[in-house]
Amino acid sequence: MKRLLLITALLFSSYAFSQNALVHINAKFNSSNDWYGLQSIDKAKVYSGYIESNPSIKDRYTITKVPTLILYKDGEEVQRWEGGLDMKLHVTTREVQDIIDRF
């Protein structure tokens, strides 16, 4: 819970939004499908958490599928990737990094 609360606090801080922020949200029951590329991302602060730790995050960030990756630039959502029917993200690290590099 502390982890997700930290994500929420950081997302609302101007520090987190003075650069790119990549947020990974999943559910504990689907943790085996956490997105593999989080440790490989450059030029973005990376935050990760589970919706069970803070259920309000589901509504606040309109999470309808897990896992979900959301890229923010200066406080604005610029890209979102959502899990498919198999509850996995079908996006490569290179694809995410290319979007980050554009900003």
**What CATH number corresponds to the domain at position 90?**
3.40.30.10
- CB 101 within 8 Å of CB 94: no
Instruction: With H, G, I as helix, E, B as strand and everything else as coil, classify residue 86.
Output: coil
Domain around 38: 2-102
The amino acid at residue 84 is G
Global pTM value: 0.81
What was the pLDDT predicted at 7?
A: 61
pLDDT averages per 10-residue partition of the chain, 103 residues: 57 59 97 96 96 91 96 96 97 97 91
d(CA 23, CA 21): 6
What was the pLDDT predicted at 16?
A: 47
| Helical spans, DSSP H, in the chain | 2-12, 56-60, 93-102
What was the pLDDT predicted at 14?
A: 44
